[in-house]
């Protein structure tokens, strides 16, 4: 009987010890954080690092695009909306109608890069050329129209790869690179990709392709084009240095939106994101911090 009683006691103790971490996990203070895919690398890194800052708080991150995050904030589903673009007038009106007071916090800066297959001989592209390539009614349809041939691209027909229309990067590129000449409209044959990583992966595997996304997603399998903003200007490559000195022509702020001024754990988290520690995490992942910093790896 004593042996059986000891076995039961041991079983109960082991069950209790196993349950304690689960109980502690269930009592963590959640911060729901959704939105921009361009910011996903930074936001995921912040979330992971913050576990070591405050173990009581769990920052849950999901993507879907800037518009998705803002809609979730308006509908009261998240604590923080991540966006690579500012609010639209329609969204401000919807927020007000829903009784939400969306407050803007700039948490960093990003360069929008133009990606090519690594074997593509193109070194630089101008806004005028990007408009002709991506813009509806543009006249550059094949790489030979630029006077080059891409190895492995059988018919030299350009494959256009874009973000989906809920993406802040889509909205930015449409306005900045396509422009008014083409009424800010993409061609109808662009391939819309939901995630930045998928876009870059596709360009890396497709010799004929060209696409655009956050510079944070750059990998060795793709080439990043040097961009010329206007005739007579020199081209510039995306980098933290060129974001800071504004020599790269496609730079945008990165935002976090909250309902009203943040308080409690949400305020502590955003304050940490804006701290030197949080901003160095950003800088080490190919984004630019909100101020000049010296950061280690």
- 116 lies in the same domain as 244: yes
- 98 lies in the same domain as 228: no
d(CA 279, CA 292): 10
Let me know if residue 279 belongs to a domain: yes
Please give the average per-residue pLDDT across 48-75, as a whole number.
95
In terms of pLDDT, which residue wins out, 7 or 165?
165
Let me know if residue 293 belongs to a domain: no
Question: 273 pLDDT exceeds 60?
Answer: yes
Residue 27: is it exposed, middle or buried by C-beta count within 10 angstroms (0-12/13-18/19+)?
exposed
Using an 8 Å Cβ cutoff, are 273 and 256 in contact? yes
Q: In this structure, which long-range contacts are made by residues 75-78, counting pairs with CB atoms below 8 Å and at least 24 apart in sequence? A: 76/100, 76/259, 77/32, 77/34, 78/32, 78/33, 78/34, 78/35
Question: 18 pLDDT exceeds 50?
Answer: no
Please give the average per-residue pLDDT across 187-206, as a whole number.
96
pLDDT digits (tens, 9 = 90+) for 216-264: 999 999 999 999 998 888 999 999 999 999 999 999 999 999 999 999 9
- 84 lies in the same domain as 104: yes
Pick from 35, 99, 31, 25: which is nearest to 55 by CA? 25
Q: In this structure, which long-range contacts are made by residues 12-20, counting pairs with CB atoms below 8 Å and at least 24 apart in sequence? A: none
pLDDT digits (tens, 9 = 90+) for 134-170: 999 999 999 999 999 999 999 999 999 999 998 999 9
d(CA 109, CA 245): 12
Sign of CA dihedral 98, 78, 287, 107: positive
The domain of 131 spans 111-251
Domain count, the chain: 2
In terms of pLDDT, which residue wins out, 88 or 230?
88
Using an 8 Å Cβ cutoff, are 174 and 127 in contact? no
- 147 lies in the same domain as 184: yes
Helix (H, G, I), strand (E, B) or coil at 286: coil
- 75 lies in the same domain as 13: yes
Q: Where are the alpha helices (DSSP H) in 62-147?
A: 66-74, 89-97, 127-134
Let me know if residue 291 belongs to a domain: no
Distances (CA, A) of 263 to 80, 86, 269: 12, 22, 10
Pick from 111, 116, 65, 47: which is nearest to 283 by CA? 111
Question: 34 pLDDT exceeds 70?
Answer: yes
Helices 276-283 and 264-274, interaxial angle, to 10°?
A: 60
- 125 lies in the same domain as 200: yes
Record the tokens describing residue 59, joined without a space: 């920052």
pLDDT averaged over the chain? 91
- 130 lies in the same domain as 230: yes
Helices 40-50 and 264-274, interaxial angle, to 10°?
A: 110
Tell me how long the chain is: 297
Let me know if residue 289 belongs to a domain: no
Question: 8 pLDDT exceeds 80?
Answer: no
Task: Give the pLDDT score at 214.
Answer: 97
- 235 lies in the same domain as 258: no
Distances (CA, A) of 144 to 17, 141, 188: 68, 8, 21
Question: 7 pLDDT exceeds 50?
Answer: no
The CATH number of the domain holding residue 32 is 3.40.190.10
């Amino acid at each position: 009987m004593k042996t059986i009683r000891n076995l039961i006691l041991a079983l109960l103790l082991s069950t209790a010890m196993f349950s304690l971490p689960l109980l502690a996990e269930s009592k963590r203070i959640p911060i729901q954080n959704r939105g921009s895919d361009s910011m996903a690398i930074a936001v995921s890194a912040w979330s992971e690092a913050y576990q070591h800052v405050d173990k009581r708080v769990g920052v849950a991150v999901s993507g879907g695009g800037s518009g998705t995050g803002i809609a979730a904030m308006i509908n009261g589903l998240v604590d923080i909306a991540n966006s690579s673009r500012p609010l639209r007038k329609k969204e401000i009106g919807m927020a007000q109608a829903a009784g939400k007071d969306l407050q803007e916090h700039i948490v960093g800066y990003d360069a929008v890069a133009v990606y090519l297959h690594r074997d593509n001989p193109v070194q630089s592209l101008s806004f005028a050329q990007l408009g002709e390539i991506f813009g509806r009614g543009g006249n550059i349809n094949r790489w030979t129209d630029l006077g080059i041939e891409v190895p492995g691209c059988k018919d030299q027909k350009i494959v256009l790869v874009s973000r989906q229309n809920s993406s802040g990067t889509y909205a930015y590129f449409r306005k900045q690179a396509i422009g008014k000449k083409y009424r800010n409209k993409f061609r109808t044959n662009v391939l819309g990709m939901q995630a930045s990583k998928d876009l870059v992966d596709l360009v890396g595997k497709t010799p004929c392709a060209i696409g655009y996304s956050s510079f944070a997603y750059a990998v060795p399998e793709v080439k990043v084009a040097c961009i010329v903003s206007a005739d007579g200007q020199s081209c510039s490559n995306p980098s933290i240095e060129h974001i800071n000195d504004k020599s790269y022509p496609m730079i945008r702020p990165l935002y976090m939106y909250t309902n009203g001024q943040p308080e409690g754990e949400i305020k502590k988290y955003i304050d940490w994101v804006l701290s030197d520690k949080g901003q160095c995490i950003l800088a080490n992942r190919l984004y630019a911090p909100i101020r000049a910093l010296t950061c280690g790896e």
